[in-house]
Homo-oligomer: A and B are copies of this chain.
Amino acid sequence: MASPKYRLFSVDDHIIEPPNVWIDRVPSKYGDLIPHVIEEDGRQYWVWEGNKIPQMGLNAVAGKPQEEWNTEPVRFSDMIPGCYDPVERAKDMRSDGILASVCFPTLAGFGGRVLNNFSDKELASLLVRAYNDFILEEWCAAAPDLFVPMIIGQLWDPEAMAAEIRRCAELGARALTFPEGPVSLGLPSFFSDYWDPIFRACEETEVVVCMHIGSSGELTNPAPDGHFIIPIALGNLNAQAAMVTFAMSPIPRKFPNIKLAISEGGVGWIAAALERADRQFKKHRLHQHMDDLLPSEVWRRNIWGCMIDEPIGLKSRYDIGVDKILWECDYPHCDSTWPHSQKLVHEFLGELPEEEITAITHGNAEKLFRWKIGVGAV
Q: Chain A interface (Cβ within 8 Å of chain B)?
A: 66-70, 181, 183, 188-192, 220, 222-230, 232-237, 240-242, 244-245, 248-249, 266-269, 271-277, 279-281, 283-284, 286-288, 290, 295, 310-313, 315-316, 319, 334-335
Contacts and interface: CB of A to CB of B under 8 A. Distances in A.
A183 B313 CA distance: 30
A227 B288 contact: yes
A7 B277 CA distance: 28
A35 B227 CA distance: 40
Contacts of A233: 244, 248, 273, 276-277, 279-281, 295
Contact of A288 (B229, B274, B279, B280): B229
A240 to B, nearest CB: 6
B287 A67 contact: yes
B240 A226 contact: no
Contacts of A244: 230, 233-234
22 contacts: A69-B284, A70-B287, A181-B222, A183-B222, A183-B223, A189-B222, A190-B223, A191-B223, A220-B237, A229-B281, A229-B283, A230-B244, A230-B248, A234-B240, A268-B273, A268-B276, A269-B273, A275-B310, A279-B335, A283-B334, A284-B334, A315-B319
Contacts of A311: 275
A280 B229 contact: yes
A63 B228 CA distance: 46
B236 A272 contact: yes
Nearest to A272: B268
Contact of A284 (B181, B183, B229, B316): B229
Given A181-B222, A222-B183, A223-B189, A228 B288 contact: yes
A272 B310 contact: yes
A25 B274 CA distance: 46
A101 to B, nearest CB: 22
Q: What are the 8 A-B residue pairs with the smallest beta carbon separation, nearest first?
A: A268-B272, A189-B223, A191-B226, A229-B280, A233-B277, A233-B280, A275-B312, A222-B245
Contact of A237 (B224, B237, B283): B237
Contacts of A66: 283, 286-287
A22 to B, nearest CB: 31
A226 B248 contact: yes
Contact of A266 (B232, B272, B287): B272
Nearest to A335: B283
Given A244-B234, A248-B227, A334-B283, A271 B222 contact: no
A232 B273 CA distance: 11
Contacts of A267: 272
A242 B222 contact: yes
Contacts of A69: 284, 287
Contact of A290 (B227, B268, B295): B227
A273 B236 contact: yes
Contacts of A236: 240, 272-273, 276
Residue from A181, A222, A227, A271 having most chain B Cβ neighbours under 10 A = A222
Residue from A233, A236, A273 having most chain B Cβ neighbours under 10 A = A233
Contacts of A240: 234, 236-237
A276 to B, nearest CB: 6
Given A66-B283, A237-B240, 20 more contacts: A181-B222, A183-B224, A192-B225, A223-B245, A226-B248, A230-B248, A233-B281, A234-B244, A236-B272, A268-B271, A269-B269, A269-B273, A272-B272, A272-B313, A275-B311, A276-B310, A283-B335, A284-B334, A312-B319, A315-B319
